[in-house]
C-alpha cells in the first residue's frame, strides 16, 4: 500500500494525498448512524486526467475506490467498506460553462450546489438550478447520482432527470461521455441516444467517477410567493397534491408534519412555492392553485394558512437552513433520515407509519415529502435527530431507521440513497432478473470489482 | 479540555466552509489544504476523537489545529445559535491542550518562544519597538487624548512601519491629539491568545496593562485590528479598561478636517475587510466611509466582502508560523485573484498583517504592475493637498 500511495502522490502531488490517521479517521464515517470503515488513504484529484491515472493505478493494483462529493449523504455510502482510497472530488469544483439560451450548465464533478447558485446569481440572474435542501457545500454530481430532488422538482422531476450528460472515468480508467456531449460540442440533452447516463445514476458510486456533468437550468423569476395549504386529514393529501400539481404552476411542493412548534402538531402542511415574471402572472398562478383545491376550502375542512412575510421569506430561502436546525434538536450533532420514493397515494399510510415508529422507538422526528413532477412520485422523508455522544440514542435512531425502511418497502416505496442494510432489503424485494442484470453490468464495467465494493451486494 | 462538552454537537453540515452567498470556499485552512480534516467540523470531530482516545496527537493533528487563522468565518456562518459562538473558543482550548502536551508545530513553538523572550514575534529587542516613529513628528505619550499603539508588525516589520508612520501622520493632519509610548510596550498578545498560550498572553497583557495604567492611558488608537480586538475584549478582564478605537474609526469621524487635491484621477479601489475589524468587531463601515469621502475613488466590492470576507491567512499567528502553504492555494493568493477580477487598481487594507500577506501574494501572482496593496491612510495621504 505504501508504494501505491507514493504513486498516487506522483499523480496529484503529495499535498493532495494522505494516509495519515487524521484523514483516515474523518473519512471513515459520515454524520449518520452507519459504523465507521477506515480507508487506507484519501486522495483529491484536480483534473479528469488525474482521475484517469488514479483509476488505472487502482485497477492495476485492485485497490478499492470510493468516490465522494460533499460527504453529506448521511447513509454511509462514502465509507471504504473494504479499505482502499476515498476519492474526494471537491477540488474539481469549476463551473465550466453556462448556455443561457438553451438553459443548461456544465460543471466539474466536485462543483457545489452553492457555488453554482452564486455563479448564476452573479452572471445569469435570469437563471437558476434546482437546489436540494442539503447544505450548499453538497455537490451537484453527488446529488444527481443519488436521484436527489429539490426546489424545482415539480417542473423538473428528480435531479437525475435534469442531467443532460456526463463525462465519466470508468473503473478501468477509460473516459466516456454520455448524452449529447458524446456527439456534439453541446450538452443539451441525453436524447436521442442510448441513455448510458443511467449506468451511473442510483448506483452509489459503484460504476464510475463523474468528472463533468451537464445540468438543466430554469427561469429565475422576479416575483416569488408561497402558499401554505393545511389540513388535518392525511387521507385527503393524495387528492390535494394531485389537484395542486395539476395546475402545473408550482415550482416546489413540500408537505411537512412535525410536532414542533406546538402550533404545527397534528396538522399536515404543504408549502407550495411558485414564481412569475410579473405580478399579474403571479396573481394568476395563485388563483389557479387556490381554485384547484376550492373543493376542500369551501367545505372548511382545509385551507390556506395566512403567512406573515418574515415567515414566508424564511420558507422561500433556498437552501433552507431549517433542516439543519432540526438536526440540532437533540443538541447532539447526529442526523439521518429515510427518504422513501413512492407514489403519492401512499401518503397517509406513510405518515401513520412514521408516527407509529417515532412513538415506538421514542425518537425525535420530523416528517415531510417533496413532490416530484406533476404528482408522479414523492420523496417521503422521516428524519431523526440523535445525540452522537449518547450511544443509546444513536441505537434508538438506528432502530427507527431500520423500522422505517421496512415500513417504506411494505407500503410499496423504495428507500432513497439506501444505507447498506436497506440496500439488502431492497435487493431481497427486487426482481431477480433486475439484480442479475445489475451484477452483469458491474462485472463488465468493473472487472476487478474496485468501485465502492460492499454496496448493492447480497 | 475547555468546551469539550460541545464538540459532539457539530454536525459537519459545512456552512462554516463558505460565505453566506456561497461564492467560494471561505475557511482559510480548508481552502488551502482541502481535506475535510482542515475544516472547522473536521477539527471538532478530531478533537472529540482525541479525547475519546480514538486518535493520538501528532504532527499532522497539530498542523490541523494550528492552521486555523481564527478568522471567524465559521462562527459567522454556522447555523446553530449559541453553539457557534463557542467554535473558536473550542479550537483555542484544543490548541492550549496541544501546547500543554508539548505537541505543537515547530513554527508555533519558535513563534511563542520569541514572544516570551522578546515580547514580539520578530525576536527583536524591545528597545527598538518605537523605532518606526524615529525621524517623524510623532510625540511621546504624555497625557494626550489618545495613545497610538503600533503593535508588532507596525513596530518591527518594514512594511508595517511604513503603515504606522502613514496612519500616525494622517491622524496628526486630522488634528487628533495622540502620543506613543517609546519604551515598555509588549505585543498586544491577541494572536498568542488565539494560539492557546493563555499564560503567556496574560503575561504580555499584564505588562501592557501595567504600563498603560501607569501612564494614565484612557483612550487607545490601534494600527492593527488584532490589537483593537484584544484591548476591547480581553484586557478589561485583566485590569485594562480603555476606550479603544481602530485608526480608521477615528479617521472616519474626522475626514472633514482633511483637504483633498482637486481634479483627482479616478481610481477603482476594492476593500479587503480585516477579520478583526470586520467579523470580530463588526465594523465594515469605517474603511468604506473613509474611501467614499475621497474625491475620485470608486469602490468595487469583491464577491466575498464584509462578513463574507476571505481572511488573508495571517491570523492566529500564521503570519509568523507559516503553517498555511504559500503556493497557489494560499488564501492570500486566492484573495488577490478575487481582487483582480473586480478590475480595481488598488486593494485597500486596514491591517498591517493583511498588507504583508497580500503584498507577498501580489508578487507571487505576478500582478504587481496592475494591482497595488495600499493601507487606507496611504491612499488618503496620496490625495491630500
Answer yes or no: do A324 and B36 touch at CB < 8 A.
no
Give the pLDDT band (50/70/90) at residue A365.
confident
Give the pLDDT band (50/70/90) at residue A334.
confident
Predicted pLDDT of residue A322: 73
Q: Which fold has domain A2-88?
A: 3.30.43
Average pLDDT over residues B345-358: 98
Length of chain B as a residue count: 385
A115 or A337: whose pLDDT is higher? A115
Contact between B13 and A135 using a beta-carbon 8 Å cutoff:
yes
CA distances from A228 to A91, A231, A302 (A): 40, 10, 11
The pLDDT confidence band at residue A386, using thresholds 50, 70 and 90, is confident
Contact B104, B58 (CB under 8 A): no
The answer to whether B59 and B108 have CB atoms below 8 angstroms apart is no
Closest CA relative to residue A165, chosen from A151, A176, A154: A176
Q: How confident is the model at residue A237 (pLDDT cuts 50, 70, 90)?
A: very high
Q: How many CA atoms lie within 13 A of A368 on its CB side?
A: 19
Task: Decide: helix, strand or coil at residue A151.
Answer: coil
Reported CATH class of domain B258-382: alpha beta
Helix (H) or strand (E) holding B340: helix B331-341
Cβ neighbors of A236 (< 8 A, separation 6 or more) are A296, A301, A302
pLDDT at A48: 98
Q: Domain residue spans in chain B? A: 11-105, 108-252, 258-382
Q: Which CATH number is A223-316's, of 3.30.70.260, 3.40.50.720, 3.40.47.10, 3.10.450.50? A: 3.30.70.260
Query: A-chain residues within 8 Å CB-CB of B36?
Result: 23, 26-27, 71, 88
pTM (2 d.p.):
0.96
Binned at pLDDT 50, 70 and 90, residue A130 comes out as very high
φ and ψ of B187, to 5 deg? -55, 145
> How does pLDDT run across A86-118, given as a tens digit for each residue?
999 999 999 999 999 999 999 999 999 999 999
B316: nearest Cα among B191, B184, B139? B191
CATH of A322-418, picked from 3.40.462.10, 3.40.50.720, 3.40.50.970, 3.30.200.20, is 3.40.462.10
Among A8, A333, A387, most B C-beta atoms within 10 A, so best to mutate, is: A333
Contact between chains at A117 and B22 (C-beta distance less than 8 A): yes
Q: Which of A8, A16, A22, A50 should be substituted to probe chain B, the one whose Cβ sees the most B Cβ atoms within 10 Å? A: A22
Which stretches of A288-427 are assigned E, i.e. beta strand? 302-304, 333-342, 364-372, 377-387, 414-416
- pLDDT computed for residue A263 by the predictor: 87
pLDDT digits (tens, 9 = 90+) for A390-412: 888 888 888 988 999 999 999 99
CATH of domain A95-219: 3.30.465.10
- Over range A253-265, report the average pLDDT: 90
pLDDT of residue B263: 86
Q: What percent of chain B has pLDDT over 70?
A: 100
Task: Report CB contact under 8 Å: A21, B60.
Answer: yes
Q: Is the pLDDT of residue B369 over 90?
A: yes
Lowest mean pLDDT among A359-368, B170-179, B254-263: A359-368
| Residue A98 main-chain phi, psi, to 5 deg | -130, 130
Whether the predicted pLDDT of B301 surpasses 90: yes
pLDDT band at B244 (very low <50, low <70, confident <90, very high): very high
Q: Work out the number of other CB atoms within 10 angstroms of the CB of residue A428.
A: 10
Which one of A25, A71, A335 has the shortest CB-CB distance to B49?
A: A25
Query: With bands split at pLDDT 50, 70 and 90, how would you rate the model's confidence at B61?
Result: very high
Domain B108-252 has CATH 3.20.10.10: no
Average the pLDDT over B45-61 and give the result. 96
The rounded percent of chain B whose pLDDT value lies above 90 is: 97
Confidence of residue A447 (pLDDT cuts 50, 70, 90): very high
Residue B303 pLDDT greater than 80, yes or no: yes
- Distance from CA of residue A415 to its chain's centroid? 12
A-chain CB neighbours of B16 within 8 Å are none
Tell me: pLDDT of A428 over 80.
yes
B304: nearest Cα among B278, B326, B272: B272
pLDDT for B88: 97
The residue ranges of every structural domain in chain A are 2-88, 95-219, 223-316, 322-418
Q: Is pLDDT at A337 greater than 90 in this prediction? A: no
Mean pLDDT of the region B310-325: 96
Task: Identify the three-state secondary structure at position B269.
Answer: strand
pLDDT score recorded for residue A377: 98
Q: Is residue B190 classed as helix, strand or coil in its secondary structure?
A: helix
How far is C-alpha A57 from the geometric centre of its chain's CA atoms?
A: 30
* Contacting residues of A for B33, CB less than 8 Å apart: 15
Residue of chain A nearest B24, judged by CA positions: A115
Interface contact flag, A16 B325, Cβ < 8 Å: no
pLDDT > 90? residue B264: no
| pLDDT tens-place string over residues A276-289 | 999 999 999 999 99
Contacts A–B by Cβ distance under 8 A: 110
Contact flag B11-A327 (C-beta cutoff 8 Å): yes
Q: Which residue of A has its CA nearest to B63?
A: A22
Of A27, A112, A333, the CB nearest to B8: A333
Say what percent of chain A tops pLDDT 70: 100
**Bridge partners of residue A106, in order along the sequence:** A97, A214
pLDDT, mean of residues B310-327: 95
For the cut 90, the answer to whether the pLDDT of residue A314 exceeds it is: no
Residue A450 pLDDT > 80 = yes
Amino acid at each position: 500500500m505504501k508504494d501505491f500511495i507514493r504513486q498516487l502522490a506522483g499523480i496529484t502531488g503529495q499535498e493532495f494525498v494522505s494516509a495519515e490517521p487524521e484523514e483516515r479517521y474523518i473519512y471513515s464515517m459520515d454524520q449518520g448512524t452507519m459504523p465507521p470503515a477506515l480507508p487506507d488513504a484519501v486522495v483529491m484529484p484536480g483534473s479528469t486526467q488525474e482521475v484517469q491515472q488514479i483509476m488505472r493505478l487502482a485497477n492495476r493494483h485492485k485497490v478499492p475506490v470510493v468516490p465522494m462529493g460533499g460527504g453529506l449523504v448521511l447513509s454511509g455510502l462514502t465509507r471504504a467498506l473494504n479499505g482502499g482510497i476515498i476519492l474526494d472530488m471537491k477540488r474539481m469544483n469549476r463551473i465550466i460553462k453556462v448556455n443561457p439560451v438553451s438553459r443548461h450548465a456544465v460543471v466539474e464533478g466536485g462543483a457545489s450546489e452553492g457555488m453554482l447558485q452564486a455563479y448564476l446569481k452573479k452572471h445569469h440572474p435570469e437563471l437558476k438550478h434546482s437546489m436540494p435542501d442539503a447544505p450548499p457545500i453538497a455537490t451537484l454530481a453527488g446529488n444527481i447520482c443519488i436521484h436527489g430532488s429539490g426546489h424545482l422538482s415539480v417542473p423538473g422531476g428528480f435531479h437525475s432527470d435534469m442531467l443532460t450528460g456526463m463525462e465519466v472515468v470508468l473503473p478501468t480508467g477509460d473516459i466516456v461521455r454520455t448524452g449529447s456531449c458524446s456527439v456534439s460540442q453541446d450538452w443539451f440533452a441525453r436524447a436521442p441516444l442510448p441513455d448510458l447516463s443511467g449506468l451511473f445514476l442510483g448506483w452509489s458510486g459503484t460504476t464510475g467517477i463523474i468528472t463533468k456533468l451537464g445540468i438543466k437550468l430554469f427561469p429565475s423569476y422576479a416575483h416569488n410567493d408561497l402558499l401554505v395549504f393545511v389540513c388535518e386529514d392525511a387521507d385527503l393529501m393524495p387528492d390535494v397534491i394531485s389537484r395542486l400539481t395539476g395546475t402545473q404552476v408550482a415550482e416546489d411542493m413540500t408537505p411537512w408534519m412535525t410536532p414542533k412548534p406546538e402550533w404545527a402538531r397534528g396538522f399536515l402542511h404543504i408549502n407550495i412555492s411558485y414564481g412569475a415574471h410579473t405580478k399579474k402572472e403571479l396573481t394568476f398562478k395563485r388563483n389557479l392553485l387556490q381554485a384547484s383545491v376550492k373543493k376542500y376550502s369551501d367545505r372548511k375542512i382545509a385551507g390556506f394558512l395566512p403567512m406573515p412575510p418574515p415567515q414566508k421569506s424564511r420558507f422561500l430561502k433556498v437552501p433552507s437552513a431549517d433542516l439543519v436546525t432540526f438536526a440540532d434538536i437533540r443538541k447532539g450533532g447526529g442526523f439521518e433520515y429515510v427518504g422513501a420514493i413512492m407514489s403519492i397515494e401512499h401518503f397517509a399510510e406513510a405518515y401513520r407509519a412514521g408516527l407509529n415508529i417515532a412513538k415506538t422507538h421514542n425518537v425525535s422526528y420530523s416528517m415531510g415529502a417533496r413532490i416530484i413532477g406533476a404528482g408522479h412520485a414523492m420523496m417521503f422523508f422521516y428524519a431523526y435527530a440523535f445525540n452522537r455522544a449518547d450511544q443509546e440514542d444513536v441505537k434508538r435512531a438506528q432502530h427507527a431507521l431500520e423500522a422505517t425502511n421496512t415500513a417504506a418497502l411494505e407500503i410499496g416505496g423504495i428507500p432513497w440513497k439506501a444505507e447498506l442494510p436497506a440496500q439488502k432489503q431492497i435487493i431481497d424485494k427486487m426482481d431477480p432478473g433486475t439484480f442479475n442484470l445489475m451484477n452483469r453490468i458491474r462485472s463488465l464495467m468493473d472487472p476487478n470489482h474496485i468501485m465502492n465494493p460492499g454496496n448493492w451486494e447480497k | 479540555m475547555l468546551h469539550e462538552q460541545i464538540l459532539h454537537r457539530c454536525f459537519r453540515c459545512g456552512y462554516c466552509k463558505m460565505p453566506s452567498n456561497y461564492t467560494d470556499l471561505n475557511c482559510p485552512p480548508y481552502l488551502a489544504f482541502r481535506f475535510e480534516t482542515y475544516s472547522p467540523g473536521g477539527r471538532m470531530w478530531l478533537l472529540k476523537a482525541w479525547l475519546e482516545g480514538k486518535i493520538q496527537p501528532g504532527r499532522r493533528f497539530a498542523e490541523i489545529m494550528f492552521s486555523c487563522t481564527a478568522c471567524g468565518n465559521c462562527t459567522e456562518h454556522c447555523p446553530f445559535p449559541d453553539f457557534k459562538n463557542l467554535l473558536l473558543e473550542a479550537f483555542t482550548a484544543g490548541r492550549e491542550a496541544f501546547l500543554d502536551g508539548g505537541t505543537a508545530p515547530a513554527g508555533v513553538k519558535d513563534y511563542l518562544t520569541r514572544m516570551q523572550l522578546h515580547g514580539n514575534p520578530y525576536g527583536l529587542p524591545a528597545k527598538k519597538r518605537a523605532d518606526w516613529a524615529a525621524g517623524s513628528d510623532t510625540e511621546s505619550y504624555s497625557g494626550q487624548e489618545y495613545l497610538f499603539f503600533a503593535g508588532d508588525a507596525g513596530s518591527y516589520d518594514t512594511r508595517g512601519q511604513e503603515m504606522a508612520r502613514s496612519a500616525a501622520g494622517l491622524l496628526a493632519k486630522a488634528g487628533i491629539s495622540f502620543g506613543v509610548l517609546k519604551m515598555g510596550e509588549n505585543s498586544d498578545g491577541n494572536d498568542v491568545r488565539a494560539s492557546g498560550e493563555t499564560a503567556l498572553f496574560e503575561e504580555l497583557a499584564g505588562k501592557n496593562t501595567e504600563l498603560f495604567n501607569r501612564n494614565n492611558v484612557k483612550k487607545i488608537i490601534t494600527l492593527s485590528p488584532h490589537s483593537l480586538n484584544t484591548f476591547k475584549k480581553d484586557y478589561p478582564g485583566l485590569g485594562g479598561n480603555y476606550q479603544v478605537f481602530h485608526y480608521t474609526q477615528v479617521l472616519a469621524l474626522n475626514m472633514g478636517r482633511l483637504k483633498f487635491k482637486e481634479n483627482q484621477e479616478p481610481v477603482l479601489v476594492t476593500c479587503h475587510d480585516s477579520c478583526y475589524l470586520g467579523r470580530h468587531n463588526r465594523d465594515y463601515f469605517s474603511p468604506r466611509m473613509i474611501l467614499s469621502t475621497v474625491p475620485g475613488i470608486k469602490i468595487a466590492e469583491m464577491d466575498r466582502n464584509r462578513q463574507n470576507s476571505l481572511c488573508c491567512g495571517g491570523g492566529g499567528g500564521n503570519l509568523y508560523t507559516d503553517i498555511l502553504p504559500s503556493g497557489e492555494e494560499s488564501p492570500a493568493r486566492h484573495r488577490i485573484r478575487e481582487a483582480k477580477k473586480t478590475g480595481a487598481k488598488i486593494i485597500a487594507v486596514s491591517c498591517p498583517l493583511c498588507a504583508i500577506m497580500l503584498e507577498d501574494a501580489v508578487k507571487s501572482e505576478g500582478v504587481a504592475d496592475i494591482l497595488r496593496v495600499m493601507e487606507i491612510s496611504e491612499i488618503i495621504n496620496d490625495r491630500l493637498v
